[in-house]
Amino acid sequence: MKSKSTEGLINHFGSVRIRLNGTGNLKLNYYSLDDSISETLVTLSMSSAPGKEILQLSNFTTQRASLQIRTTEIDEVFKISKIVVYAKSVASGYPQ
Amino acid sequence: MPTRSYGVSSLVVVNETVISSGTFSNAGTKFDRFTAASYTLGENGEISYDAIGYINFNLFPTIPASASITRVACSGVASGALTTSGTGGGSSVIFISFTSYPGGSTIEEDGEALTIEGSYGQSLGWEIIYDPPKTRAQIITLFGSAGNYPTSGTYLGAALTCTAFADIITPGDASSNATLSSWTFEVTYDLENYSWYIKPTIKIVNGQPVKIIEDATADIVQVIDGEDPPEVLFGELPYEFYGTGEDFPDGPEYVWWESVDFYIFYIYSPITPSVPGITTWIPLAAPPACVGCLTLTLGSLDVLAADASGIYVLTNNKSNDTLYVRPDGGTVDVKIPNPRIRIAYLP
């Protein structure tokens, strides 16, 4: 079967699942190409032993997205061993 | 995915920035009232409160020229035979009422100018100077009283500006070096905007004690090096007073800093200023106290790595950075500047 290229498609980034241990609050942001648009996700409250992978919803539509993860306060620590980004193509391109 | 976190230990650290700054904004008319059981008139218009050893109002030079003195009261002097009270109509007008003519008063003439001055009961000296001067004929016309003397209950009106209020109670005159009982002074004035800043001109290490002094010859707030502890010098305070077009005369009397503690200075203010970021205002209750004196906590200094040595130690699992403070050798833990990761673009 002929493969379909996903190059340039418009994607909806609906959630991210993270294997996360830590203390403090974790800040997550999506950025588009050139950081022209972004979205701030709901801050995650970290636990040293959460006992589960955390699924965080998002609503970000762009061609390609980069996820930034950070802390901003003293003595906050995070350890991430897996990140799964869920996205779905919703359009083939922007209007000309 | 293996992870590893590091903190950094480094040498430090001085402060080269504005320590604190802000703006007082208190638009509108303010009302103030100073009372005490007993005051003794001192030199240069000061009111010294000898009962507690020290209080320095410096009211007269610090009242804005735009102020309106609405009431000057003095009661309980010489068994109450003499009272001064009244209200001032309009601006810069003072009225004093005598229930009986103050004995011992004299009228002094200097050319066409005329001054009434005198004393009562060996306890209160007073003087009224007309500005512009009035002649004897004008005084007679003004009061319409035989012997050129005001009758009982007559108001003596003196067109004086607020800053000339000291002329009513003459400092330095033997007759006015007397005790007033139950003395009350009320004044309304406008205080609109006041800005200030503290900016050291040398480096101050966070936590380092300094001595704050006042020097009227300095035109900025500065830190004098070579002293132990360093001295923070306050000269003509960098304030501006808007609204009337006039500065407060003798600003340092109105707002001054006097403390050996770097973090505290006193602001002589009848009102609680609104300073962004400053929330702790403590009215002083004990000497050296004065009505309206407040303390202001500057807060902690921002520490910048302006003098970092470049010697760093990476420490596994350390969740903060440690800065070594010179010259004391202490340390302070600060946050790692927003540690972050960012994944590649998807898809």
Q: Which residues contact B65 (CB under 8 A, 6 or more apart)?
A: B161, B162, B163, B244, B246, B249
Report the 10 Å Cβ neighbour count for B281: 15
Residue A10 has pLDDT above 60, yes or no: yes
The DSSP element (H or E) to which B61 belongs, if any, is helix B59-62
Q: What are the structure tokens assigned to B294, written together?
A: 């407040």
Q: Is A11 on the interface with B (CB under 8 A)?
A: yes
Chain A residues with beta carbon closer than 8 angstroms to that of B343: 66-68, 83, 85
In which band, very low, low, confident or very high, does the pLDDT at B274 lie, cut at 50, 70 and 90?
very low
Nearest residue in B to A68, CA atom: B342
Q: Please work out, in degrees rounded to the nearest 5, the angle formed at the alpha carbon of residue A41 by the alpha carbons of A40 and A44.
A: 130
b/e per residue, B23-40, with b = 16+ CB within 10 A? ebebeeebebebebeebe
Give the gap in angstroms from C-alpha B345 to the nearest C-alpha of chain A.
4
What is the length of chain A? Answer: 96
- The C-alpha atoms of residue B127 and residue B118 are separated, in whole angstroms, by 6
Q: What are the structure tokens assigned to A31, written together?
A: 């950025």
Q: Which residues contact B288 (CB under 8 A, 6 or more apart)?
A: B54, B55, B56
Q: What are the structure tokens assigned to B37, written together?
A: 């059981």
A67–B343: do the CB atoms touch at under 8 Å? yes
| Average pLDDT across chain B, whole number | 40
- The C-alpha atoms of residue A46 and residue A77 are separated, in whole angstroms, by 9
Tens digits of per-residue pLDDT, A34-74?
999 999 999 999 999 999 999 999 999 999 999 999 998 88
Higher pLDDT, B72 or B314: B314
B319–A82: do the CB atoms touch at under 8 Å? no
- The C-alpha atoms of residue B72 and residue B95 are separated, in whole angstroms, by 8
Tens digits of per-residue pLDDT, B144-154?
433 333 333 33
Q: Please work out, in degrees rounded to the nearest 5, the angle formed at the alpha carbon of residue B60 by the alpha carbons of B59 and B66.
A: 105
pLDDT at B347: 84
> The complex's ipTM?
0.91
Residue B237 has pLDDT above 90, yes or no: no
A74–B334: do the CB atoms touch at under 8 Å? yes
DSSP output for B1-13: -----EEEEEE--
| Three-class DSSP category at B315 | strand
Eight-state DSSP code of residue A8: T
State the pTM of this model: 0.36
Nearest residue in B to A81, CA atom: B1
Q: Which of A48-57, B106-115, B125-134 has the highest mean pLDDT?
A: A48-57
Interface of B with A (CB under 8 A): 1, 3, 5, 319-320, 333-336, 338-347
- Which among B304, B307, B310, B323 is positioned nearest to B7, based on CA atoms? B323
A75–B320: do the CB atoms touch at under 8 Å? yes
- The C-alpha atoms of residue B269 and residue B290 are separated, in whole angstroms, by 10
Nearest residue in B to A87, CA atom: B347
- The C-alpha atoms of residue B347 and residue B324 are separated, in whole angstroms, by 45
- The C-alpha atoms of residue B256 and residue B235 are separated, in whole angstroms, by 9
Q: Is A43 on the interface with B (CB under 8 A)?
A: no
B319–A85: do the CB atoms touch at under 8 Å? no
The DSSP element (H or E) to which B62 belongs, if any, is helix B59-62
pLDDT at B77: 27
Give the gap in angstroms from C-alpha B308 to the nearest C-alpha of chain A.
20
pLDDT at A96: 79
A85: β partners: A16
- Which among B269, B119, B137 is positioned nearest to B128, based on CA atoms? B119
Tens digits of per-residue pLDDT, B46-56?
333 222 212 22
Size of interface A-B (CB pairs under 8 A): 62
Report the 10 Å Cβ neighbour count for B78: 14
Q: B338 exposed, middle or buried (CB, 10 Å; 0-12, 13-18, 19+)? A: exposed
The DSSP element (H or E) to which B59 belongs, if any, is helix B59-62
